[in-house]
Structure 1
């Protein structure tokens, strides 16, 4: 597998990955985290134009996608019912998703991110049990609650390499 920046030509493929991820979340009793249409094409186009969107490729096929940025995330400015592991500069991962029939993609993507930056924050919906298990298995610590731009609650995780 390899990681590269997403291009506009990748959009249709990653939209399918996100649609499959939403269907999976619904089956896992988590229908509201991404709803019917998150992330929207316009958001992904913005991520691409800002060089913050990445794809994971295996045998010339996109098998995963995610947002990665080194820097302050406004939704992480306040944390409730806990605290971050430290106040050092950090990177964030958002919107990580893998193709329906793939294995090990999310771990590969997270490992790649840690090779870019040793301090990473991420969040997920409290009903996203597969993601919570994945994060805990991959060394992330549950730190508290954050609220995203629309006011929805998320569980905040943090890992320092």
Structure 2
């Protein structure tokens, strides 16, 4: 298994994984990614910003994530808590694993890869948000050393629970 930067040609495969995640959320009554997001335009933006990655196994895309070092304006204000640090940070978005690959520690690999990318760029904080009802993601974050920090509001006003992990230098 290897990570690589995503290309425009990868969008159909990435969207297939995103659609699987959307179906999973819907089946669990989780109101995340149910409004047409993420879509091809958001994926194109990730690719154009050099922030999109895919995990490949046997020549097939099995997972995806975006790692951004540009900050996140919706993180400027946090409610019912506070961030651990005010240092520069990376944001990991749009984490999704193909249905046939769940339960194999793929999310752990995505987090470890994200941490490596951060350290390469001199970033020692990772911030992530997710839907309050996304207990699978929340559990994965906590198992990987992320601490719950509070609630952020998306641009549309939707609430998301926010986590941060400080990396060792």
TM range (shorter): over 0.9
C-alpha deviation, 1:36, in angstroms? 4.8
**TM-score, length basis structure 2:** 0.91
**1:106-121 superposed matches below 5 A:** 106-117=107-118, 118-121=124-127
Match of 1:158 in 2: 164
Structure 1 gaps of 5+ residues are: none
Match of 1:9 in 2: 9
Q: 2:143 aligns with which of 137, 140, 152?
A: 137
> Contact between 1:6 and 1:48, CA under 8 Å: does it hold in 2?
yes
1-side partners of 2:117 and 2:95: how far apart? Answer: 16
Deviations 1:99-124 (A, max 9, x none): 10112211101100101213100000
Match of 1:51 in 2: 50
C-alpha deviation, 1:149, in angstroms? 1.2
* Number of corresponding residues: 160
1-side partners of 2:129 and 2:47: how far apart? Answer: 21
1-side partners of 2:163 and 2:137: how far apart? Answer: 11
What RMSD over aligned residues (CA atoms) do the two structures have, in Å?
Answer: 1.0
Q: 1:148 aligns with which of 139, 146, 154?
A: 154
> Contact between 1:22 and 1:36, CA under 8 Å: does it hold in 2?
no
2-side partners of 1:158 and 1:5: how far apart? Answer: 24
Consecutive aligned runs of 4 or more in structure 1 exceeding 2 Å deviation: none
**1:55-134 superposed matches below 5 A:** 55-102=54-101, 103-117=104-118, 118-134=124-140
2-side partners of 1:9 and 1:127: how far apart? Answer: 33
Deviations 1:72-93 (A, max 9, x none): 2111111111001111111000
Match of 2:121 in 1: none
**TM-score, length basis structure 1:** 0.95
Match of 2:37 in 1: 38
